[in-house]
Chain A
Amino acid sequence: MLAGLCLLFAGRAQALTPEQARAIAAGDTDARVAALNAAAAKGEPGLAAFVQALLDDAVKLAPKQVLVIDGEKVLDAASGLPAPLPEDAEDVVNNNRMRGALQAALASLKLGSPELATRREAVAELAKQSLDESQLPLLDQALAAESDAGLKARLTLMRAALVIVNSPDKAKRLEAAQQLAGSGEGAVKSLILERLAAESDGEVKSALSQALAKIEARLAWGERLGLLFTGISLGSILLLVALGLAITYGLMGVINMAHGELMMVGAYATYVVQNLFKAYLPGAFDYYVLLAVPASFLAAAGVGAVLERSVIRWLYGRPLETLLATWGISLVLMQAVRSLFGAQNVPVENPAWLSGGVALMSNLTLPYNRVAIIGFAFAVLGGVALLIAKTRLGLFVRGVTQNRRMAACMGVNTARIDTYAFALGAGIAGLAGCALSQVGNVGPDLGQSYIVDSFMVVVLGGVGQLAGTVIAALGLGVLNKLLEGFAGAVLAKIMVLVFIVVFIQKRPQGLFAMKGRSAEA
């Protein structure tokens, strides 16, 4: 930044008069802002660098000159020539208002840039500042020069917001009110509400109310879509968690209370991969997630296979005992992670391409990581469905589930299939953990917070049915977020649980019951 500044100074040395520089740098805030805006409206070429220096707190006030400190060098703000730093030079102090004005000025200067990206940045920066009428000429200039339609619309809105507050001309205010109707921003809504109270003219008032109604309708849509999105996002996470359960519980009849801890294993595997990339491949850090996905699958599947061989295999047909034993396993896994990685949460960073989001509307931004998880969940779902329906392993798993003895008679090694199926369920839990690490905290109790919800999904969806699991996961996710909207997070959760308890009354087998005539054991 300082190097750039230096260049700017060298190039545009004598643009700012010493009087202008002093007026901007010293005096009371009102006068400084006025001087700054006057200079900005004229488009003084050296101004941008000077304003930037002011924002960087690199300006000092000597009795005769305004000085800019650039690293080792001291330059005169007006002439750009090296100058001695007097003993009694004072720092220039900018309060928040002054800072806002400086940033606005800097942005408005950038509006004249030939680069579209720079101008876009400048408009975004301007939108954050509170503008006043002295900046109106600036906006007019920019508006006249702007060629991009999107930016033009935003500038028009900004200008309209200024005009409606400040213009004494009724016709201009009326026009501004009509222009404001094109906005979809909360800030504009509050501005209109303010003006509605202050406005005296009936015509402008009605135009304002029309604009308000339009903006509110647009905002409401943004909110609705946002709600739907967060609901689907939660649902996709539940789906990932529940898919693994659907295999271990639905297909194998094993209640795996350690499922959440297998997710935790996956999340920690992601953390380890991330750290390895940081240490050995910092250049490829953005792609660590691609390796973390298989790593978390394998780590969790490995743990799952060991568990199946050592503990769960002896408990088939005794679901209540399995429940207790896997609970014990979950305690051991949690404590093991505490011993290895500490009891604190560990940081997992998003790669650059997963941070940020796409802004669809002013109040609706879809974060990339959540969008990616939704896609990932459905990809995993597709993979599992294919595996179960089309592969030999899937055929064996279905066979063993339906009739273990008959499958054994046909030559299926049922014990090995059990291990594979359990490892598969565990591996999917690991994938869920990997996905969760991108949106939430990674800590020893990561699994605990999702396990009740995911069991609800399996119970609601019906045992042994992937379709039921999908619908139940997405349904519960959206329902949860919908209720959260007007009842708060805790009450929403309670309402969902009560709903499930009631639902199970009506359909004890879940949404999609297995068809068949086998009597209950």
Chain B
Amino acid sequence: MMNASPSTSSVLLPQAPRLLTGKGWAAVLAAAITVALLVPLLNLVVPAGHALHLSDYAVGLIGKIMCYAICALAMDLIWGYTGILSLGHGLFFALGGYAMGMYLMRQIGRDGNYQSELPDFMVFLDWKALPWHWSFSDSFAFQMLMVLAVPGLLAFVFGFFAFRSRIKGVYFSIITQALTFAAMLLFFRNETGFGGNNGFTDFKRILGVPLAQPSTRMVLFVVTGLTLIGFFLLGRLIVTSKFGRVLQAIRDAESRVMFTGYDPLAFKLAIWVLSALMCGVAGALYVPQVGIINPGEMSAAASIEIAIWTAVGGRATLIGPIVGAFFVNGAKSWFTQAFPEFWLYFLGALFIAVTLWLPNGLVGLFTRPGGIVGLFRKSKT
């Protein structure tokens, strides 16, 4: 691997790794085909009752989990690769979701319960006009800009001050949790203008197309899947670049990075904002598919769960968080149907078990030499 040339240079630079190996590209391609062609075919074309038919429920569930996987991927970039555990990613997710939800509420038009131009909850609160922050909410383009701008700006401002005063480790985690908690309290208030504790629901259409229509749901599914794959490639691009290597150096020894002449502030801030943006996008994709957004998404538990998906799958691998999100949420939807009272026991045990015995996550079982699979490989010597 090492491409040393002692005659010309005294510094040994490791060769930049490739974005993906041939196998990797094949897998990405396969995933893209599955999401964009196979699932729509199995769901829309194959008739219901056929053995290969994919139910609407399954499509909805997978679509939802893919949104979660984007969050887990974002968490991995900031936690797995940079060593900063955020307990506030649920906030960015919810902010993206609320921005999308505002647009969807306006799309209901006069079809709500009160047949008013205003969203139902405003009629209920006896408001006569839209509050100022709803001024442009009927424009899809503007709200999509908000999906990025609101989490991005909040992350930038918060991150700038936090990283500038070198808040790190658990301090940072606790402060992000406090921020999320404060935001949750704010959104619970009716006066904030986001529907109080009921949030937004009863969406009817997006861009004029009914949301209940199977083809609309499929388009959302495909967009979510392709976004996830896109973010995976972006993440890969980042972690294989020099930027990504500085991030990992910050994770492993921040003081040494500083002594070497780098200013960690810009690096941390950049990846922090990017991570928040990804969560915002995930939230915006989540809301039309699930059909509801409320301040519960900002609870401390929601944010911590994102961290556990990442940890279960395997930190500092990009495929890990995606695997983790699917594993934990798949288990959740199975448990909450089969043994609802045992779900929290399972989740709690998972938190403990992963931190104690699986520091490299599920993916670590397969890739690390010490993992289960590695133990059964033929010895190379």
**A contacts, CB < 8 Å to B:** 255, 311, 314-315, 318-325, 327-332, 334-336, 338-339, 448, 452, 455-456, 459, 490, 493-494, 497-498, 500-501, 504-506, 508, 519-520
Question: Whole-angstrom distance between the alpha carbons of A335 and B307 in the complex?
Answer: 21
- Asked if B348 contacts A497 (CB within 8 A), the reply is no
- Asked if A320 contacts B169 (CB within 8 A), the reply is yes
A228 to chain B, nearest CB (A): 24
With A323-B85, A331-B351, A339-B341: A501-B179 Cβ-Cβ less than 8 Å: yes
A residues within 8 A CB of B162?
501, 505
A residues within 8 A CB of B174?
255, 455-456, 459
A residues within 8 A CB of B304?
324, 327
16 contacts between A and B (CB under 8 A): A315-B355, A319-B169, A319-B170, A320-B85, A324-B354, A330-B348, A331-B344, A335-B348, A338-B341, A452-B177, A456-B178, A459-B171, A490-B188, A497-B178, A500-B175, A505-B165
Q: Does B255 contact A (CB under 8 A)?
A: yes
- Asked if B347 contacts A331 (CB within 8 A), the reply is yes
- Asked if A324 contacts B178 (CB within 8 A), the reply is no
Q: List B157-171 residues whose CB lies under 8 Å from chain A.
A: 158, 161-162, 164-167, 169-171
Q: Does B349 contact A (CB under 8 A)?
A: yes
B352 interface neighbour in A329, A338, A455, A506, Cβ under 8 Å: A329
B residues within 8 A CB of A319?
169-170
A residues within 8 A CB of B352?
311, 325, 328-329, 332
A residues within 8 A CB of B328?
none
Q: Which 6 A-B pairs have the closest CB atoms?
A: A328-B351, A331-B348, A332-B348, A335-B344, A497-B182, A325-B355
A residues within 8 A CB of B158?
501
Contact with A along B27-70 (1 / 0, CB 8 A): 00000000000000000000000000000000000000000000
Q: Secondary structure at chain A's binding surface: helix, strand, loop or mixed?
A: helix
B residues within 8 A CB of A330?
348
Q: Does B189 contact A (CB under 8 A)?
A: yes
Q: Specify the chain A residue showing the minimal Cβ separation from B343.
A: A335
B residues within 8 A CB of A494?
182, 185-186
- Asked if B175 contacts A504 (CB within 8 A), the reply is yes
A residues within 8 A CB of B182?
493-494, 497-498
Contact with A along B138-181 (1 / 0, CB 8 A): 00000000000000000000100110111101110111011101
A332-B348, A508-B166, A508-B171 given; name 5 further pairs at CB < 8 Å. Answer: A328-B351, A328-B352, A331-B344, A448-B300, A501-B178
B88 to chain A, nearest CB (A): 11
Q: Does B350 contact A (CB under 8 A)?
A: yes
Question: Whole-angstrom distance between the alpha carbons of A78 and B352 in the complex?
Answer: 80
Question: Whole-angstrom distance between the alpha carbons of A448 and B355 in the complex?
Answer: 22
B81 to chain A, nearest CB (A): 14
Question: Whole-angstrom distance between the alpha carbons of A325 and B312 in the complex?
Answer: 12
Q: Specify the chain B residue showing the minimal Cβ separation from A507.
A: B165
Q: Does B308 contact A (CB under 8 A)?
A: yes
Question: Whole-angstrom distance between the alpha carbons of A315 and B354 in the complex?
Answer: 12
Question: Whole-angstrom distance between the alpha carbons of A519 and B79 in the complex?
Answer: 23
A residues within 8 A CB of B300?
448, 452
B161 interface neighbour in A321, A338, A455, A505, Cβ under 8 Å: A505
B367 to chain A, nearest CB (A): 20
Question: Whole-angstrom distance between the alpha carbons of A8 and B103 in the complex?
Answer: 76
Question: Whole-angstrom distance between the alpha carbons of A498 and B166 in the complex?
Answer: 18
- Asked if A519 contacts B255 (CB within 8 A), the reply is yes
Interface centre among A314, A327, A493 (most CB of B within 10 A): A327
Interface centre among B170, B255, B359 (most CB of A within 10 A): B170
A residues within 8 A CB of B349?
328, 332
A328 interface neighbour in B164, B181, B186, B347, Cβ under 8 Å: B347
Q: List B299-313 residues whose CB lies under 8 Å from chain A.
A: 300, 304, 307-308, 311
Q: Specify the chain B residue showing the minimal Cβ separation from A320.
A: B85
Q: Specify the chain A residue showing the minimal Cβ separation from B344.
A: A335
A residues within 8 A CB of B376?
none
A362 to chain B, nearest CB (A): 33
Q: Specify the chain A residue showing the minimal Cβ separation from B341.
A: A339
- Asked if A320 contacts B173 (CB within 8 A), the reply is yes
B89 to chain A, nearest CB (A): 14
- Asked if B307 contacts A328 (CB within 8 A), the reply is no
Question: Whole-angstrom distance between the alpha carbons of A497 and B311 in the complex?
Answer: 28
Q: Does B1 contact A (CB under 8 A)?
A: no
B355 interface neighbour in A324, A334, A497, A519, Cβ under 8 Å: A324
Q: List B180-203 residues whose CB lies under 8 Å from chain A.
A: 181-182, 185-186, 188-189
Interface centre among B300, B311, B356 (most CB of A within 10 A): B356
A residues within 8 A CB of B351?
324-325, 327-329, 331
Q: Does B124 contact A (CB under 8 A)?
A: no
- Asked if B175 contacts A501 (CB within 8 A), the reply is yes
- Asked if A328 contacts B348 (CB within 8 A), the reply is yes
Q: Specify the chain A residue showing the minimal Cβ separation from B311.
A: A324
- Asked if A325 contacts B185 (CB within 8 A), the reply is no
B residues within 8 A CB of A498?
182
